[in-house]
Amino acid sequence: MAMIDLIGGALLAALLAALLTPIAIRVAHATGLLDRPGGWKRQARATPQLGGVAVLVACTISATLLGGGDSRLIAILAGAILLCAVGIVDDFRALRPPPRLLAEACAGGLLWASDLGWNLTVPWWVNLLLTVLWVIGIVNSFNLIDLMDGLATSVAAVALGTVGALALANHDPAMAALAFALAGAALGFLPYNTSSPARIFLGDGGSMSIGFACAALILAVLRSQPEGVSTVIVAPLLFGVPLLDMGFRIALRLSTGVTLITAGPDSLANRLGELVTTPRAIAGVAAATQLIVGGIAIAALGMTPIRAALTVATVLAVGLCAAARLQLGSRRAVLHEPETHRYEPDLHRSGADAAFIEARSSV
């Protein structure tokens, strides 16, 4: 498949997403699938949440036209559609974590059954477990960064572009077509998500399905690499920004005693917002960081295991230092800001949110 075909597929997906998103906005208003202000949701008005459907439909049409009947393509799209449906239900009914995790585990099992999971030289059940945990980790890390206009979509587009380039280098046209189609669809949706105010959000249906597609594509592309330790070590860098953000949140919550499922403004994007004032700028910084980390990941795949491990350790150390610096700056801001601006429990927020505020105020 020529590069011009992949570019054409990405442009087609972008055009379709741009045309389908206004339809998704109207459907969301008609069905009441809106994200309403309250708690940590600070948008000025109720906002449609069906953006992920427009992205997924646009990607499916473009990738199917380019990738044909590749069985891997069908398996990945089937898993994405499953999680999109679960995410839409979650947007309607606010599902508890167990049903969501079960759906993600089933999607991971589908990947493994379709010969798209980890294939290390270990017992089959270890590869199955690693595949399920990989899918759960990637899906939830992407869901967690979908908290600011344009942030998740921008990071996903860059990560998918990197994976698509790797697939192209590995002579895997079907996976390259899917990666570039999804990246194009994300970019076609982006203007509606970054308008002021945002006209539509991805919603959980979008974040779960796109996160799953990213997880599956990374595994599919890495299977074309020679088996070895380098592949396992480098894989997380291909989705480095969301995974680092999730790790930062988990560490912060464990240190403050706040439950992991509580809502709260403790992401790296929120910390970065104290230095960069607009959501678009924050999304740009995050996307640029993902581009750099993804490039390092591709370079590390050609290294020996020891050099790859040292490279990943260096990237991780730099990321942790940057996260710690952002957290320290945030803590100083809380300590020095006027009392009227400090975090205080709000009777209009949920009890979980109030508990988070109280815990953060004591840090």
pLDDT digits (tens, 9 = 90+) for 306-325: 888 898 889 888 888 877 77
Q: Is 124 a domain residue?
A: yes
pLDDT digits (tens, 9 = 90+) for 207-232: 999 999 999 999 999 987 765 557 88
pLDDT the model gives residue 337: 39
Q: Residue 330: is its pLDDT beyond 50?
A: yes
Which position has the higher pLDDT, 41 or 302?
A: 302
- Sequence-distant (6+) residues with CB within 8 A of 229 are 305, 308, 309
User: What mean pLDDT is predicted for residues 156-172?
Assistant: 94
Separation CA 30–CA 165 (nearest Å) = 40
Q: Residue 160: is its pLDDT beyond 80?
A: yes
* Residue 48: strand pairing partners: 34
pLDDT the model gives residue 67: 78
User: What mean pLDDT is predicted for residues 82-106?
Assistant: 93
Confidence of residue 140 (pLDDT cuts 50, 70, 90): very high
DSSP letters for 122-140: S-HHHHHHHHHHHHHHHHH
pLDDT digits (tens, 9 = 90+) for 259-312: 666 556 667 777 777 777 788 888 999 999 999 999 999 988 888 888 888 988
Q: Is 349 a domain residue?
A: no
pLDDT digits (tens, 9 = 90+) for 144-153: 898 888 999 9
- Sequence-distant (6+) residues with CB within 8 A of 250 are 260
pLDDT the model gives residue 87: 95
Separation CA 152–CA 10 (nearest Å) = 18
Q: Is 145 a domain residue?
A: yes
Of 154, 149, 157, the closest CA to residue 199 belongs to 149
8-state DSSP, 34: E
How high does pLDDT run on average in the chain? 84
Neighbour count for residue 250 (Cβ, 10 Å): 12
Amino acid identity of residue 280, one-letter, is R
User: What mean pLDDT is predicted for residues 97-114?
Assistant: 95
pLDDT the model gives residue 70: 86
Q: Is 362 a domain residue?
A: no
pLDDT the model gives residue 265: 64
Number of domains in the chain: 1
Q: Is 221 a domain residue?
A: yes
- Phi, psi of 174, deg, nearest 5: -65, -45
Q: Which residues constitute the domain of residue 331?
A: 3-335
Q: Is 193 a domain residue?
A: yes
Separation CA 35–CA 33 (nearest Å) = 7
Candidate ranges 2-6, 45-49, 88-92, 131-135; pick with highest mean pLDDT: 131-135
pLDDT the model gives residue 84: 97
Instruction: Give the global pTM.
Output: 0.86
Q: Is 250 a domain residue?
A: yes
Q: Is 240 a domain residue?
A: yes
Diameter over CA atoms, the chain: 61
Confidence of residue 328 (pLDDT cuts 50, 70, 90): low
